Amino acid sequence: MKLEVWQRAIDLFALVFEQTGRVADFKLRSQITDAAQSVSANIAEGYCRRTLPEYLQFLYFAKGSLGECLTRSIGLHRVNLLAPDQFESIDTLHYEVENKLLGLIRSLEAKRSDATWDDTLPAPHPPSTIHHPPSSSQ
């Protein structure tokens, strides 16, 4: 997928996964990595929908998952399970992803306002034809 916000959301998941690798409590680690992974998953699912309202709905789900990821990061930092530099790296990338996501949402909301969103599917491509050389039967 070429969407930069999706790519950076994948980076956020990888960073959270890496930075929380030493969190011994499986449930805590699972919750924060699930929240981080939900960001990119919801962006992708919304992108694959055909209607603008559905796309926007999934982008707002992604925004909610970003909030959950940050809240869990703050909690892990507060109880000293994330070092200050680890928290700072997650916090910085979180805000980058959030700003890109908000920009995409604003852009799509504008398309909804001026009715420039096209819900039609692209025309299907014709099947490719493979030409085989004639067989020589003897």
The domain defined by 4-113 carries CATH number 1.20.1440.60: yes
Predicted confidence (pLDDT) per residue in 90-134, tens digit? 999 999 999 999 999 999 999 888 888 777 666 676 776 665 566
Q: Which residues of 68-103 are buried (b: 16+ CB within 10 A; e: fewer)?
A: bbbebbeebbeeebbeeebbebbeebbeebbebbee
If you count DSSP H runs as helices and E runs as strands, how many of each does the chain have, helices first? 4, 0
- Report yes or no on whether pTM surpasses 0.85: no
Name the residue ranges covered by the structural domains of the chain. 4-113
pLDDT at 49 over 70: yes
Mean pLDDT of the chain: 91
Residue percentage of the chain with pLDDT more than 90: 76
